[in-house]
Structure 1
Amino acid sequence: MPGPNPQPVQLARHIAQQIDVLNEHLATAPPRQAAQILGQVLDPEEGVLGSLTTLVATGSHFAKHHATAGTLPPEVWLALGRAANELNDIGLDLDEHADALHQLTRPPATTTAPPTASALVARRHR
């Protein structure tokens, strides 16, 4: 009997490789292009983070079905559910800063003073 269709597994590997390539672009991109990349990655409707969140939530539904059938430990379902919730919360936290990223994508104004550095302060809003 043949094994499961390897195409979805290959697709997952390909997506991971594409994310690695995107990461390399982000690491070397000029600020405007980096902000555009991040804006697309973090876009809640069509971005990578939203799609990944949906994928993990779908995995949680799969795990729930198998946990209730006894073929997976319930901890797997709970862990995937927590991961989906955390990714969603992260997306909501980052969405608050979408405007700041969008401002970086615009051409610099010629009449304004150069931006000044600010102290980095970690704040959590939950």
Structure 2
Amino acid sequence: MSHPTPYPVRLADEVTRQLCQLADHLAQLPSHQAMQVIARVLDPDDGVLGGITHLVVTGSMFAKDQAERGTVPAEVWLALGRASNELNDIALDLDEHLGTLRNLRTETAITAEKPPTPAPLVVRRRR
């Protein structure tokens, strides 16, 4: 007799499917709607990026416990720890743009009275 797939595994599969579906929709949206979606996804408190970061941090803590018990190689825990740190760094890089992103979440459309100004695509990063 086969064992049913546990709910958390089905949930992970469903989240993955919906993220792929969202990406497909994003590619077809008008620019102002696409920016609203991107702003919602990148919100560090309520967005997908924050949720994934939280998930990876939680996975890292679990992997640490399992590595200490010898059931998971320490390299797995270290890789998850690095991944959670990298995701956190990404969120910190976006912090300076948080106000703009939150404004974009609520905009219905880019106003016609003020046309967008093209920006140079080469930007130097501060570290």
User: Normalization by structure 2: what TM-score?
Assistant: 0.85
SS in structure 1 of the partner of residue 27 of structure 2: helix
CA distance in 1, matches of 2:88, 2:123: 19
Number of the residue aligned with 2:110: 108
CA distance in 1, matches of 2:117, 2:99: 18
Q: Give per-residue Cα distances to partners, 1:32-58, cap 9 Å, x unaligned.
A: 111110111111111100000000001
CA distance in 1, matches of 2:24, 2:67: 38
Match for 1:22: what amino acid? Answer: L
SS in structure 2 of the partner of residue 124 of structure 1: coil
Query: Retained in 2: the 8 A contact 1:56–1:80?
Result: yes
Match for 1:62: what amino acid? Answer: F
CA distance in 1, matches of 2:8, 2:81: 22
User: Normalization by structure 1: what TM-score?
Assistant: 0.86
Number of the residue aligned with 1:59: 59
CA distance in 1, matches of 2:4, 2:78: 25
CA distance in 2, matches of 1:3, 1:122: 53
Counting aligned pairs with the same residue, the percent is 54
Aligned length: 125
Unaligned stretches of 5+ residues in structure 1: none
Match for 1:78: what amino acid? Answer: L
Alignment root-mean-square deviation, CA:
2.2
- More off after superposition, 6-15 vs 116-125: 116-125
